[in-house]
Amino acid sequence: MRPEEDRVDIDRILSLPLETGSQEKAAGQSLPSVGRGDLMTYDAAQNNPGRFADLVRRKLNRSLVASLEACVHCGLCADSCHYALARPDDPRMVPAYKADQVRRMYKRIVGWTGRLVPGLVHAKRPASDEDLNRLKNVVFGTCSACRRCTMNCPMGVENAAIVRFARGILADLGIVPEGVFNVSRDQWESGNQMGVSEQDYLETIDWVKEELQAETGDPSIDLPVDVEGCDFMYTINPREVKFDPRSLANAAKIFKLAGESWTLPRWGWDQTNFGLFSGDDRLGGFVARNAYEAAERLKAKRIVISECGHGYRSTRWEGYNWAGYDQKLPTESVVVTIQRYIREGRITVDPSRNPDPVTFHDSCNIARSGDLIAQPRWVLRRVCSDFREMHPNGRENYCCTGGSGLLSMAEYRPLRLEVARIKAEQLKATGAKVLCTMCHNCIDGLNDVVKHYRLDMKVVQVMDLVAGALVAPE
């Protein structure tokens, strides 16, 4: 484990300034998303504390009010948060404290006690842009919105929802980390969060197809695009196109052996949704609608979601509400699809082809927020000869530390890696050599943890192990 001198100065984290270079550049380029008012930029000349108060009143809903009112400050959330567990002497890492930074503003702006006797209930509205910038550093920099505290709160307080609520209001004011602004810009402008052009997308698909045909000697293997009437439309993470097309190749190989009828869409292929992280419901609705409309246009019978935590949560559970869309098509994770293939004998797997000890990391958005826990284990026990659980696991698993968009916020990386000690200890205790997860975001977060804490394990996805265990028909 890393030495104690890695300890981060939290006062420095909470005072990190607002960087506006990317916002000024976007405004100077007259980007359509800025011109339409989709992507908000910071304006110091405006009354931002006043606008913040207006947005609080406008965006509140019953479930948020319940969470803002119900906290009894019992402190149990501290026992569930990897930030608080890694820094037990720092009350600013306790989930209730972080939510209180929003709660005290809510009380002063909306609550009747906070308006009558603010000092008595610690109510205080933001007085300046500096106050809002500090709130930015709290809600973006000191919480991965993993919802583990919610699962362990006796009052059912959704601290992650409070954090997302504050993030969304700050996004409307342009008071966001530069990384959050950049990814949001790319998703508004290109339809995917990594700014992949249609040409690059199609060329990568062609390249993957050629490689697969050469590898398998099968000229009929294909990655079809925009084919109507298939059994399912496959949505992916842009990381699969831009950085790691192996997962796309694995999917094509498995679908071919299973005799599947499938297609990728030309537009609407990005299942990831930065609106979940930034709190921007309009962005969330825009991205989700792209996928739903693509599936309807192609007359697909289902939408299958590749291995991605927040893509799964956004596309399967949250996107309908953000988009106000009457989505009727069934959606499922590709791991559920693979489970069906094995059960029905459509593919044959040999676990001896993955002999190294394997453990599984549950993505927060898939296990805690998506209730998909048994299915990946069912698959892994059939494609690996030595599967071992980490503890805790399932809904109680710890975050990969890169959730809620933290991988895009370089300024908070030192704190993220410091509190990753909890995750590193959990991983080390398994003795596994292979760390499997079903989320591209977790892949990057876990690789950071493995490298920082010098753990002897490689990080893979379920599809990697399934592809490695495939037995081709004779």
Residues 6+ apart with CB under 8 A from 89: none
Nearest CA to 427 out of 324, 357, 346, 352 is that of 357
How many alpha carbons fall within 13 Å on the CB side of residue 363? 29
The dihedral sign for the CA sequence 293, 297, 299, 300: negative
Place of tokens 């209930």: 121
For residues 185 and 191, the answer to whether their CB atoms sit within 8 Å is no
Q: What is the pLDDT of residue 473?
A: 82
Helices (H), 231-270: 239-242, 246-257
Which tokens hold the place of 24? Answer: 């000024």
In Å, what is the CA distance from 161 to each residue of 60, 66, 91?
11, 11, 20
Question: 248, exposed or middle or buried, with CB in 10 Å at 0-12, 13-18, 19+?
Answer: buried
Q: Which pLDDT band holds residue 1 (cuts at 50, 70, 90)? A: low
pLDDT at position 374 over 80: yes
For residues 291 and 235, the answer to whether their CB atoms sit within 8 Å is yes
Provide the mean pLDDT of the chain.
96
The one-letter amino acid at 345: G
What's the whole-number mean pLDDT along residues 320-332?
A: 94
Q: What is the pLDDT of residue 79?
A: 96
Q: How far apart are CA 20 and CA 18, in angstroms?
A: 6
Residues 6+ apart with CB under 8 A from 182: 22, 408
For residues 436 and 467, the answer to whether their CB atoms sit within 8 Å is no
383-419: pLDDT as tens digits:
999 999 999 999 999 999 999 999 999 999 999 999 9
Q: How far apart are CA 426 and CA 313, in angstroms?
A: 25
Q: How far apart are CA 106 and CA 97, in angstroms?
A: 14
Q: What is the pLDDT of residue 6?
A: 73
H-run or E-run covering 359:
strand 358-361
pLDDT at position 4 over 80: no
Q: How far apart are CA 66 and CA 62, in angstroms?
A: 6
418-439: pLDDT as tens digits:
999 999 999 999 999 999 999 9
What's the whole-number mean pLDDT along residues 345-355?
A: 98
Q: What is the pLDDT of residue 2?
A: 53
What's the whole-number mean pLDDT along residues 377-382?
A: 98
> How long a stretch of residues is the chain?
474
Exposed e or buried b per residue across 308-326, where buried means at least 16 C-beta atoms within 10 angstroms of its C-beta: bbbbbbbbbebbbebbebe
Cα torsion 73, 78, 79, 83 to 10°: value is 170
Q: Which pLDDT band holds residue 5 (cuts at 50, 70, 90)? A: low
DSSP assignment of 4-58, as one string?
Answer: GGG---HHHHHTPPPP-HHHHHHHHTT-HHHHTTSS----TTS-HHHHHHHHHHH
200-220: pLDDT as tens digits:
999 999 999 999 999 999 999
What's the whole-number mean pLDDT along residues 37-58?
A: 97
Q: How far apart are CA 19 and CA 22, in angstroms?
A: 8
What's the whole-number mean pLDDT along residues 303-319?
A: 95
Q: What is the pLDDT of residue 327?
A: 85
Cα torsion 273, 278, 283, 287 to 10°: value is 0
What's the whole-number mean pLDDT along residues 291-312?
A: 97
> Own/partner pairs for 71-79, CB < 8 Å, 24+ apart?
71/96, 71/99, 71/100, 71/103, 71/155, 71/157, 72/155, 74/154, 74/155, 76/152, 76/153, 76/154, 77/149, 77/152, 77/153, 77/157, 77/159, 79/152
What's the whole-number mean pLDDT along residues 130-155?
A: 97
pLDDT at position 308 over 70: yes
Single pTM value for the model: 0.95
Share of the chain above pLDDT 90, in %: 97
Q: Which pLDDT band holds residue 105 (cuts at 50, 70, 90)? A: very high
pLDDT at position 63 over 60: yes
Which tokens hold the place of 89? Answer: 């002497």
**Integer Rg of the chain from CA:** 23
What's the whole-number mean pLDDT along residues 257-273?
A: 97
Q: Which pLDDT band holds residue 234 (cuts at 50, 70, 90)? A: very high
Q: What is the pLDDT of residue 454?
A: 97
pLDDT at position 474 over 80: no
Strand order in the sheet with 358-361: 358-361, 434-437, 458-461
Nearest CA to 257 out of 474, 1, 16, 418 is that of 474
For residues 241 and 200, the answer to whether their CB atoms sit within 8 Å is yes
